[in-house]
Amino acid sequence: MADKTMRGDRLHIAIFGRRNAGKSSLINAMTGQPVAIVSDVPGTTTDPVFKSLEFQPLGPVVLIDTAGIDDRGDGLGAERIKKATSILEKSDLALLVVDAGADDFAFEDDLLEKFRSRAIPAIVVVNKTDLHRSGESDWFRDKPCVRVSALTGQGIDDLRRRILEAAPSQWEPPFLSDLVREGDVVVLVVPIDTGAPKGRLIMPQVKALRDALDAGAMPLSCRESELKSALAALKLKPVLVVTDSQAFALVARVVPDDILLTSFSILSARQKGDLPRLVEGVLAVPSLRSGDRVLIAESCSHHPLQDDIGRIKLPRWLNEYVGGGLQIDTVPGSAYPEDLSAYKLVVHCGACTLNRREMLRRQEVPAKAGVAMTNYGVLISFLKNVFPRALRPFPELVARYENRSWPETKNTAGG
Ligand SMILES: Nc1nc2c(ncn2[C@@H]2O[C@H](COP(=O)(O)OP(=O)(O)OP(=O)(O)O)[C@@H](O)[C@H]2O)c(=O)[nH]1
Ligand code: SF4
Ligand SMILES: [Mg+2]
């Protein structure tokens, strides 16, 4: 059966090194497939190549082949280095491929420093050991090296073992398994309206279900229309109810106050990013005024839907909240505008294609420019007047917000 794990939920293992070191040969040897083009022409790989696979017992990973980082010279070379270097921001583990016959390591030292400063664990893959006796240079001595030949396949099993040792065991917080215990009942409220995709559940709902099962808890799913009957039918009181944000107001009325309640999008925001900072960022909304600039940052350039949340609904709800006149810009893709200082608020998308490391980096950029940042899930919850109740399941937020009076939001987002 096809594995539907999204790229953003996979451990990112990136392959770096000079041109011709054998990076593309390595990705092919590791996957047993012709994933990337190999040739003896330096600079063959120009754009990063992504290959998703199951790497047992680690789980779903994505291997990334990059362009050679010594590709200086013309403008195109510089562009390739930029693209390869941008992969650093999403790497959970780095493989630095070095030709066993190399005698100059300036680029390698520079890369190792980049890994170190970003706390990315790294393995030095000494390649082409079929051609050269490796380890002749002192440089290799104090490095975490694995000797391989991507051409013959020798050493690839060793490399796999080293990856298992070096990879972080958990690269993102759990979705909800830390909030429930074995034997607990957790209720998942899933509206099935015209916006729900036909014949399936969306990824956050699937994650919640799976995480609850992993924890040994007992998940019960129902629509908001059946919630009252579902709660009445239960012998055990649920410890947690998770709802789609759309139904939050209704669900909050039905679920007794002593049962913890939050939304799928807040759980997603916590897994992908720094939830306390995203909550802090949303507090800039009440001070927005007509004429202020707001940036909506989307991580991918998807085809906008008819009632697109980022392009249509959020701009409408924010404008209704402020009384109109906001200047709202939308940027798709990984780059922010050069100068963020003109913005009062950055609202980031749900980041489903990003991994946590990349989302945390993206949170740093507005923070450095002194601009508040929140995301779709947190903003929608705010506009629906669900704070502080929806934050109560998270111990790190309880103390900060439990007794805080939240600004009245007029609930422009409906529900
Ligand atoms: N003998 C030998 N040749 C290798 C090995 N690994 C790669 N090569 C050869 O080295 C050359 C470059 O290999 P690539 O895998 O394209 O190198 P790359 O690092 O991806 O190069 P760029 O994409 O140009 O940055 C090719 O001719 C490969 O066949 C190896 O382990 N042994
Ligand atoms: S949440 Fe972000 S990354 Fe996911 S589809 Fe929407 S814009 Fe793209
Ligand atoms: Mg290549």
> Can you list the alpha helix ranges (DSSP code H) found in 259-355?
264-272, 275-282, 314-322
SS3 249: helix
CA quadruple 194, 198, 200, 203: dihedral positive or negative?
negative
Q: Is the CB of 298 under 6 A from ligand 2?
A: yes
Which chain residues have CB less than 5 Å from ligand 3, an ion? Answer: 23-24, 44-45
- Gap between the Cα atoms of 316 and 185, Å rounded: 37
In this predicted structure, what is the pLDDT of residue 248? Answer: 87
**Residue 350, ligand 2, Cβ within 6 A:** yes
Residue 415 CA from chain centroid, whole number: 28
Q: Give the integer Cα–Cα distance in Å for 3 and 181.
A: 27
Q: What is the pLDDT of residue 371?
A: 98
For ligand 1, is residue 40 a contact (CB within 6 Å)? yes
Q: Which of 202, 268, 298 to mutate to test the pocket of ligand 2 (most atoms within 8 A of CB)?
A: 298
3-state percent breakdown (helix, strand, coil) of the chain, nearest 5: 35, 20, 45
The burial class, CB within 10 Å (0-12 / 13-18 / 19+), for 367 is: middle
Q: Which atom of ligand 1 is nearest to the CA of 19?
A: 25
Q: Are 118 and 94 in contact (CB under 8 A)?
A: no
Q: Using alpha carbons, list the distances in angstroms from residue 283 to 120, 131, 193, 305, 342.
A: 32, 61, 31, 28, 18
Pocket test for ligand 2, best of 349, 356, 359, 362 (most atoms within 8 A of CB): 349
Nearest to 269 by CA among 330, 360, 344: 360
Q: Provide the residue-wise pLDDT of the chain in tens; the chain has 415 residues.
A: 445 677 778 999 999 999 999 999 999 999 999 999 999 999 899 999 999 999 888 888 999 999 998 866 667 778 888 888 889 999 999 999 999 999 899 999 999 999 999 999 999 999 999 998 765 688 988 898 999 999 999 999 999 999 999 998 777 889 999 999 999 999 999 988 777 788 888 889 999 999 999 999 999 999 999 999 999 999 999 999 999 987 888 999 999 999 999 999 999 999 999 999 999 999 999 999 999 999 999 988 777 666 778 888 899 999 999 999 999 999 988 889 999 999 999 999 988 888 999 999 999 999 999 999 999 989 988 888 888 899 999 988 888 887 777 766 655 555 4
Q: How many CB atoms sit inside 10 A of residue 92's CB?
A: 21
| Strand 49-55 with 59-65, pairing | antiparallel
State whether the Cα torsion 210-213-217-223 is positive or negative. positive
| pLDDT reported for residue 135 | 59
Task: Using most ligand atoms within 8 A of CB, pick from 19, 23, 25 the residue to mutate for ligand 1.
Answer: 25
Model pLDDT for residues 222-270, shown as the tens digit of each residue: 999 999 999 999 999 999 999 998 788 899 999 999 999 999 999 999 9
At 378, list the tokens.
Answer: 């947190």
For all residues of the chain together, what is the average pLDDT? 90
**Class of residue 388 by CB neighbours under 10 A (exposed 0-12, middle 13-18, buried 19+):** middle
